[in-house]
C-alpha cells in the first residue's frame, strides 16, 4: 500500500469542518476590520455621536461630541450578530469616545432612528 496521498483513494477524505469554520470566521473578521478602517477614516478621529439639543420650529438642532474617538460601536446588535451581515458595514458603525459608548450601552443615550435601520448619521437623545 504505502499511499501517502489521500487523493489516490477511491473515496478521498473530505476537508475537516473545523477548517471550513475557521475560514468563515477569518472572512468575517477581515471584512469587519476593513469596514472599521473606513469608519475611522470617515470620522477623522472625532467621536461621531450627535446628540439632540432642541427643536427650532421644524429644524432639529444637534451637536457632535468633541472628544477623541477610541472605540467602534456596532449600531446593529444581537446575540451572534455583531460584525456579520449589515452589522459589519461601515454605515451601521460609529467611531465613538469611551464616554459616549458607555452612555449608549448604558441606555443614557437613545438613538432616534430616521429610517428602517440605524445609520451613523442618526441623532441620539439623552433620556437620563
Q: Are 73 and 97 in contact (CB under 8 A)?
A: no
* 119 domain-assigned: yes
Over its length of 128 residues, how does the chain's per-residue pLDDT go in tens digits?
555 566 677 787 888 999 999 999 899 889 989 999 999 999 999 999 999 877 667 677 888 999 999 999 998 876 666 667 778 889 999 999 999 999 999 999 999 888 888 889 899 988 87
What strand order describes the sheet that includes 50-56?
59-64, 50-56, 123-126, 109-112
Which pLDDT belongs to residue 114? 84
Give the residue among 38, 71, 68, 47 at the shortest CA–CA distance from 124.
Answer: 47
Instruction: List all residues 6 or more positions away from 128 whose beta carbon is below 8 Å from its beta carbon.
Output: 107, 108
* 95 domain-assigned: yes
CA distance 21 to 89: 21
Which pLDDT belongs to residue 103? 95
**Residue listed under C-alpha cell 478621529:** 45
Instruction: Give the containing element (helix H, strand E) for 53.
Output: strand 50-56
> Residue 70 is part of which domain span?
46-128
* 13 domain-assigned: no
pTM: 0.75
* 37 domain-assigned: no
* 81 domain-assigned: yes
* 61 domain-assigned: yes
Do β-strands 50-56 and 59-64 pair in parallel, antiparallel, or remain unpaired? antiparallel
If one counts the domains in the chain, the total is: 1
**Residue listed under C-alpha cell 470620522:** 43
Backbone torsion region of residue 78, taken as left when φ is above 0, otherwise alpha when ψ lies between -120 and 50, otherwise beta: left
**Residue listed under C-alpha cell 451581515:** 85
* 36 domain-assigned: no
* 112 domain-assigned: yes
Amino acid at each position: 500500500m504505502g499511499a501517502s496521498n489521500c487523493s489516490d483513494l477511491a473515496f478521498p477524505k473530505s476537508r475537516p469542518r473545523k477548517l471550513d469554520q475557521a475560514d468563515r470566521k477569518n472572512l468575517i473578521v477581515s471584512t469587519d476590520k476593513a469596514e472599521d478602517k473606513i469608519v475611522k477614516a470617515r470620522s477623522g478621529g472625532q467621536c461621531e455621536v450627535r446628540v439632540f439639543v432642541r427643536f427650532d420650529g421644524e429644524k432639529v438642532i444637534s451637536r457632535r461630541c468633541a472628544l477623541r474617538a477610541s472605540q467602534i460601536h456596532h449600531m446593529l446588535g444581537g446575540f451572534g450578530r455583531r460584525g456579520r451581515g449589515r452589522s459589519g458595514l461601515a454605515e451601521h458603525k460609529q467611531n465613538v469616545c469611551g464616554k459616549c459608548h458607555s452612555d449608549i450601552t448604558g441606555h443614557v443615550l437613545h438613538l432616534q432612528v430616521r429610517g428602517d435601520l440605524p445609520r451613523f448619521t442618526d441623532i441620539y437623545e439623552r433620556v437620563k
